[in-house]
Amino acid sequence: MRLTNNKILITGATSGIGEALLKKLLQYDNEIIGLLLPLLKQNDNAAIINVSSGLGLVPKMQAPVYCSTKAGLHIFSKALRYQLDHVKVFEIIPPLVETKMTTGRGKNKISPEELAAEFVQAFKRNHYEISIGKVKLLKLLNRVSPLLAENIMRRG
């Protein structure tokens, strides 16, 4: 059994609206996993696959709610991994991917097929936190020089 969470939310909402949306989205993930957890625990090969984003590691200013939900999903995935002994919790952390949502935005996007191929390789090796493409570099840069990573990503 596989459970995949992938939140897509793009909004300029700030303050109370953004906070309410963030709480609702994280609550939704929690509720779905809570409902399915008994089934997942019965399966010896169960996995949860969450799709966050490099923007959950280092945000950009145009999408505070989107970045917040992805950051929340990143930490949620880690914490869930600590709690569940017999359920594998994977997190895909992609860069900008060529989708309908990203049409007209950004450049040097990866294709969904590239993302899937890289994910499958890591999945087979039981790598649970899977940085895809340029996110590997972003994580390294954020570790070595967080200020530089923030300056690069800030304006997206």
- Catalytic positions are 66
Report the phi/psi class of residue 99: left, alpha or beta, with left for phi > 0 and alpha for psi in -120 to 50: beta
Enter the DSSP assignment of 63: -
Helix (H) / strand (E) containing 35: helix 15-42
> For residues 58 and 147, what is the distance between their CA atoms, to the nearest angstrom?
10
> For residues 80 and 22, what is the distance between their CA atoms, to the nearest angstrom?
18
